[in-house]
Amino acid sequence: MDQKIFRQIFHSLSTAFFPNRCLACGRLYHRPFSLSEQNSHVHPEDMNKALLHFTNKFVCGSCVPNFSIVESPVCTMCGMMFVSREGGDHLCGKCQKEPKHFTTARAAVVYDNLMTNAILNLKYQGRIRLARPLGSILLLAFLHYFSEQDLDIIIPVPLYPGKFKQRGFNQVFLMIQDWETQLPENGYWFPCKIHKKILQKNKNTSAQTGLNKEQRVKNIKNSFHIENQSDISEKNILLVDDVYTTGSTVNECAKMLKKGGARRVDVLTLARTT
Ligand SMILES: [Zn+2]
Ligand SMILES: [Zn+2]
Model confidence pLDDT, tens digit, residues 62-106: 887 667 889 899 999 999 999 988 899 999 999 999 999 999 999
The total number of structural domains that make up the chain: 1
Q: Is residue 6 included in any domain, yes or no?
A: no
Q: Which ligand is nearest to the CA of 97?
A: 2
- Within a domain: residue 107? yes
Evaluate whether residue 32 is within a structural domain: no
Reduce the DSSP state of residue 76 to 3 states and report it.
coil
Tens of pLDDT, residue by residue over 6-62, are 666 655 555 555 678 888 888 888 776 654 444 456 665 667 777 777 787 888 888
What is residue 187's predicted lDDT score, i.e. its pLDDT? 61
Confidence at residue 188, expressed as pLDDT on a 0 to 100 scale: 66
Q: Within a 13 Å sphere around the CA of 89, how many CA atoms are in the beta-carbon half?
A: 14
Q: How far is the CA of 82 from the centre of ligand 2 (A)?
A: 10
Residue 19 domain-assigned?
A: no
β-bridge mates for residue 29, sequence order: 20
pLDDT tens digit string along 213-271?
888 888 899 999 999 889 999 999 999 999 999 999 999 999 999 999 999 999 999 99
Ligand 1 centre and the CA of 61: distance in Å? 7
Distance CA 179, CA 73 (A): 28
Determine the pLDDT at residue 38: 45
Q: Closest ligand to 62 CA?
A: 1
Give the Å distance between the CA of 114 and the centre of ligand 1. 9
Q: Quote the ligand 2 centre to 149 CA distance (angstroms).
A: 20
Residue 14 included in any domain = no
Average pLDDT, the chain: 86
Distance 76 CA to ligand 2 centre (A): 7
2 is a domain residue:
no
Separation of alpha carbons 177 and 163, rounded Å: 19
Q: What is the pLDDT of residue 65?
A: 66
Q: Is residue 30 part of a domain?
A: no
Which residues have CB less than 5 Å away from ligand 2 (the ion)?
75, 77-78, 92, 95
Query: Which H or E run contains 238?
Result: strand 236-244
pLDDT of residue 35: 45
- Phi and psi torsions of 193, nearest 5°: -95, 150
The phi and psi torsions of 202 (rounded to 5 degrees) equal: -115, 10
Residue 198: which domain range? 39-272
At CA 266, angle to CA 169 and CA 244, rounded to 5? 55
pLDDT at 149 over 60: yes
Distance CA 274, CA 75 (A): 11
The three-point CA angle 135-137-140 to 5° equals 110
Q: Is residue 22 part of a domain?
A: no
